[in-house]
A and B are shown apart, each in its own frame.
Chain A
Amino acid sequence: MKILVCIKQVPQKDAPLKLNEAGTWIREDVSYEVNEPDAYALEEALRQKEKHGGEVVVITAGPTRSQQVLREALAKGADRAIHLEDDRFGALESTNTARAIAAAIEGEKFDLVVTGLQSDDYGAAQTGVLLAEILGWPHATIIIGIEKTDSGVHLKRELEAGHYQFIDMPLPAVLTIQSGINKLRYATLIGIKQAKMKPMRKVSYGEVEAKLSKNLQRIERLYVPVKQKKTEMLEGTPPEVAKKLVEHLRNTVRVI
């Protein structure tokens, strides 16, 4: 199987975040890491390759610093990488990111594209699904199990409240992978040293610009939730107060 893994670089989960001066995003002087669900998508792709042979290609769209996530993927065993390298790629909304990726892989024949379920920064969970639409391929989301079959793939999806769905799908297809589907590996030191020798193709903004449209979404303002103390007196007879209290706990505070 020839598999493409879409990987995004996001701010480190436990890093303390500070807002930028305009209040539209976080300050850039933070540590970055591989988006967690993407790490699982990569691991799954590597495991599929180990079982069935083929090739694992990793791709990211973002500024120069995001090359780090491709290096890490190469160190863990991916065969080659594609970097859509430009600061402007970091500011694209999901639709345009999907368009840029689709443009960058034109002419390649992948059997499978895997992405993480969502990114830990914007959390839109859209890029994979939109990419499938642009490629004209079927897709499935929240995947927690992949088995290759003669006609395609047999998949396990996570639904809500502990329910699962099993589906069969033809290939090529796009799958968005849920964290925890497998156990992540660490790159060996030798793997890290050898990653430098693996091919990394750079794609400039100019090469894909024609395929992009104007961003339709924009972040107006980002702020840290303000803590407020508010006391509200419920009035009425005890049964009325009790009723109001239950309503409040259920609908406003949402704790019951």
Chain B
Amino acid sequence: MGFKFQGFDFIQFDSLLSEDERLIRDQTRGFIEQNLIPIIEQCNREGRFPRELVRPMGELGFYGATLDGYGCSGISNVEYGLLTQELERGDSGIRSFVSVQSALVMYPIYAFGSEKQKEFWLPKLATGEKLGCFGLTEPDFGSNPGGMRTRARRDRDGYLLNGEKMWITSGSVADVAVIWAKLEDEEAEIRGFLVETDRPGFSATDIHGKWSLRASVTSGLSLQDVRIPAESILPTSGGLKSPLMCLSQARYGISWGAIGAAMSCYDAALQYAQQRKQFRNQPIASHQLVQEKLAWMLTEITKGQLLALQVGRLKDRGKAQFQHISMAKRNNVWMALECARMARDILGATGITDDYPVMRHMMNLESVKTYEGTHDIHTLILGQSATGISAF
């Protein structure tokens, strides 16, 4: 069975962190080690979301952790990054759940919501008493959400929502959905709406047959004449840039999360290579070709840490721009996926089983590479930032 995680710090990265940052990282690592690691392989096999961890994570303050007030913890962006790193060292599915609850549900309520919406929803979402989901993607609009077909029509003293959302994390377990829809008027502007999932006309159907993020729920949402009161609109949301601001939050977390998955793969590969013997009773770690892989992972993870940390420091100073976050998300998820593949290689046949976390991370990371802006979409964002020319 798998090895106990030994930590990862090659260039005294920890010395760049404050006491609080290290403490948050270590406490989260302990929580995940004790509560998620023992059950995650079974959850992954069964395709089960470990719902029993929702409230304990809420008690520790993991949801909406960067927000101030309303029962939220008010931690910094670097602290939040280290938190997501540790969650994803456990499993990308659990990190996805926390990312969605925090960056895609609580953040838009905090940023675009009315005082009444904030006071009602944020404390309940912070404890995990209520869960949320974020509905932007549609069956025909993924990388290009601006083309969405979901519509909100003014109706009596509220709105009538119609449309289909697809690939929605936590869709069927959510109590509230942040639905992005175009208002049916001349401007057809994209607006955000808080839709309680028990409203007539709203339904969520889980997507089955996933080979990735099996410990997280992914659903399709259908909205058929869902009637919501006028106060359900997020008052200051307006245009595609509103959901993109949420995605920026989430992408930032992912750029750290991917490091966690990569550390887990590297750690498993290193310990395995030191123990597994082939040819003249020597550990496979003694072969140059194996060492080359380990050295690559060690270097790339370290570079990824520095990239994420710098973007986090910028973010804490209010200086991070979306293209910085794109670079961190794009590089670190790619890097983590490469690490997972190399680690799988080093583990040989054992690598394809769930005795070790490597193949699970690899399959999870395929989703992480696609969601929150695919790898190539981030390439286009960086390209546009560098050249000033849009190539979408």
Contacts and interface: CB of A to CB of B under 8 A. Distances in A.
Interface of A: 12, 14-16, 29, 31, 33, 67-68, 71-72, 75, 186-190, 192-193, 196
Given A68-B19, A193-B20, A187 B27 contact: yes
Given A29-B12, A68-B22, A75-B23, A189 B73 contact: yes
A190 B61 contact: yes
A186 B27 contact: yes
Contact of A188 (B5, B12, B59): B59
22 contacts: A12-B7, A14-B5, A14-B7, A16-B6, A29-B12, A68-B22, A71-B19, A71-B20, A71-B23, A72-B23, A72-B27, A75-B23, A186-B30, A187-B27, A187-B60, A188-B59, A189-B83, A190-B74, A192-B20, A192-B27, A192-B75, A193-B73
A190 B27 contact: no
A189 B19 contact: no
Interface string B50-80: 0000000001111001000000011100010
Contacts of A186: 27, 30-31, 60
A1 to B, nearest CB: 26
Interface residues of B, number: 26
Given A68-B22, A71-B20, A193-B20, 10 more contacts: A14-B7, A15-B7, A16-B6, A75-B23, A188-B60, A188-B61, A188-B73, A189-B60, A192-B20, A193-B73
A33 B30 CA distance: 11
B268 to A, nearest CB: 14
Interface in B20-42: 20, 22-24, 26-27, 30-31
Interface of B: 4-7, 9, 12, 14, 19-20, 22-24, 26-27, 30-31, 59-62, 65, 73-75, 79, 83
A187 B23 contact: yes
A189 B22 contact: no
A42 B60 CA distance: 18
A75 B30 CA distance: 15
A29 B10 CA distance: 10
Interface hub of A29, A72, A189, A192 (most chain B Cβ within 10 A): A189
Nearest to A196: B20
Contacts of A187: 23, 27, 60
A192 B23 contact: yes
A177 B303 CA distance: 42
B65 to A, nearest CB: 6
Contacts of A75: 23, 27
Contacts of A16: 6
B23 A31 contact: no
Contacts of B4: 14
Contacts of B12: 29
B263 to A, nearest CB: 13
Contact of B23 (A14, A68, A190): A68
A189 B7 contact: no
B75 A189 contact: yes
A46 B31 CA distance: 19
Nearest to B8: A31
B13 to A, nearest CB: 11
Given A67-B19, A68-B22, A189 B61 contact: yes
A14 B8 CA distance: 11
Contacts of A68: 19, 22-23
Contacts of B19: 67-68, 71
A75 B23 CA distance: 9
Closest 6 CB pairs of A and B: A189-B61, A189-B73, A188-B61, A186-B27, A190-B73, A14-B6
A29 B15 CA distance: 10
Interface hub of B6, B14, B23, B31 (most chain A Cβ within 10 A): B23
A193 B74 contact: yes
A30 to B, nearest CB: 9
Contact of B9 (A14, A31, A189, A196): A31
A38 B20 CA distance: 20
Contacts of B20: 71, 192-193, 196
A193 B79 CA distance: 11
B24 A189 contact: yes
A33 B61 CA distance: 22
A188 B65 CA distance: 11
Interface hub of B5, B6, B27 (most chain A Cβ within 10 A): B27
Contacts of B62: 189
A190 B123 CA distance: 14
Contacts of A33: 26
A247 B83 CA distance: 55
A31 B7 contact: yes
Contact of A189 (B14, B26, B65): B65
